[in-house]
Homo-oligomer: A and B are copies of this chain.
């Protein structure tokens, strides 16, 4: 077994497990191990800040941190090493090291690096470790690699980023208006609470997002009327992102359905769906994460449509044959 076979075997274990891949239990096991390790790291990070635990379990926590960093470092090196095995891009024209360098600049690889780098930096540089510790949280982001649904979520959020930003801008404008208004109305009644517009911003933010801590509340009748109006506006503004995302999820599903329909139309063009075509459609369906029941319905409807047209054709052409 040569280096390439080793690299290939290693790649198969490292890449995230996908449904419908047979004989891949080492990959699956490795995934679960990584997920548990990351969650344990986050837990350790949180427990370290509890005084009683930090003093009692200091050595155990440090040992665990050390072991984790070593493991994540090995994982990072392995991922860089096997990156030429990835078939996501066409790698033909590039040497192995060029591919590795490109991989190292990918967002996922940078996150992997950020999750381990602070530890090594803290060994070299003499500075406050606290801020660096926060970077250990980036390990959590690595979890995203393992969920197809997280991928869908991220796509929707990215697609709607501009519209969501516009909604946040509207929220921001209303918030500044609300803060300015309540400041001028309430500053004489509660001068310490609504001492300035920035201070009033805290109220308008907490109110418009319907969090409503209750630490800052208008008390004058006029302030309550104004606050009430702002709160009602908040209901509408709150509904905006829900509406935007809802429409986006619907559109995504529609698009995946359309893509499947396109494939079925291609397959059915010659009048029937062969076994080979049927297998292909099943693969497409799985890739698009479509319901089996739904896919079947699409095939049925298109077949009906097609047969309807065939019948007509035959009715109009018999004597021409």
Contacts and interface: CB of A to CB of B under 8 A. Distances in A.
A300 B241 CA distance: 32
Nearest to A136: B180
Interface string A143-182: 1100111101100110100111111111101001101110
Contacts of A22: none
Contact of A251 (B159, B234, B253, B304): B253
Given A150-B166, A211-B207, A50 B245 contact: no
Contact of A313 (B169, B231, B305, B315): B315
A301 interface: yes
A316 B319 contact: no
Interface in A197-222: 197-198, 201-202, 205-207, 209-215, 217, 221
B166 A149 contact: yes
A47 interface: yes
A238 interface: yes
A61 to B, nearest CB: 13
Interface range on chain A (Cβ under 8 Å from partner): 35 or more
A91 interface: no
Nearest to A251: B253
A110 interface: no
Contact of A163 (B152, B170, B183): B152
Given A147-B166, A150-B170, A309-B308, A244 B239 contact: yes
Nearest to A317: B316
Contacts of A206: 212, 231
A306 to B, nearest CB: 8
A59 interface: no
A187 to B, nearest CB: 8
Contacts of A294: 251, 255
Contacts of A298: 258
A130 interface: yes
A164 B231 contact: no
Interface in A104-157: 130, 134, 137, 140-141, 143-144, 147-150, 152-153, 156-157
A249 B166 CA distance: 14
Interface string A26-59: 0000000000000000100111011100000000
Contacts of A258: 297-298, 301
A150 B195 CA distance: 32
Given A312-B312, A313-B316, A318-B320, 12 more contacts: A51-B196, A140-B173, A141-B173, A152-B166, A159-B291, A201-B228, A238-B238, A247-B252, A250-B251, A258-B298, A269-B308, A313-B315
13 contacts: A46-B180, A49-B196, A147-B165, A171-B232, A205-B231, A209-B210, A209-B234, A214-B214, A239-B244, A242-B242, A247-B249, A265-B301, A318-B320
